[in-house]
Amino acid sequence: MSDHRAEQLRAVGLRVTAPRVATLDWLAEHPHATADQVAEGVRARLGSVSTQAIYDVLNACTQTGLLRRIEPAGSSARFEARVDDDHHHLVCRDCGRTEDVDRVVGAAPCLEPSTSAGFTIDAAEVVFWGRCPGCAAEQEGQP
């Protein structure tokens, strides 16, 4: 088991288990994966692991801040291990490919709402939508 992952789990009060370590390791290598993709990747590493166990791991790790859950409109929830900064995402409208983008540069529209309606605001999510290079080329009829 990865010592680094074990330390991360212990630091947030979670028991160190093979599915938790494998999930964190796999997501570090495959960011923006869906729960089904995580389950497939973890099973490839460990063998038989129930889908419910994967959902439980993802939930516990998200609740404790080890993972971030993003939910682009019209897409399955995705998970990533990049939680130590405030970054945004690019999402392909066609295939769902998702990429990290560092914080907005220059004027940052819509990061402060015109009214808070009494909410205590602690975060803003920015998702840039478009087409990835592969889907854009396919749409233009290029191979």
Q: How far apart are CA 66 and CA 23, in angstroms?
A: 11
Domain limits at 21? 3-70
86-134 pLDDT per residue, tens: 788 888 988 888 898 887 665 555 566 777 788 887 777 788 889 999 9
Q: What is the pTM of this model?
A: 0.80
* Strand bridging mode 88-92 / 127-130: parallel
In a domain, residue 79? The reply is no
3-state secondary structure of 132: coil
Claim to verify: residue 96 and residue 135 sit in the same structural domain: yes
58-92 pLDDT per residue, tens: 999 999 999 999 988 888 899 999 998 878 888 89
Q: How many domains does the chain have?
A: 2
How would residue 2 be classed by pLDDT, with cut points 50, 70 and 90? Answer: confident
In a domain, residue 76? The reply is no
In a domain, residue 77? The reply is no
Claim to verify: residue 16 and residue 47 sit in the same structural domain: yes
pLDDT of 13 reads 96
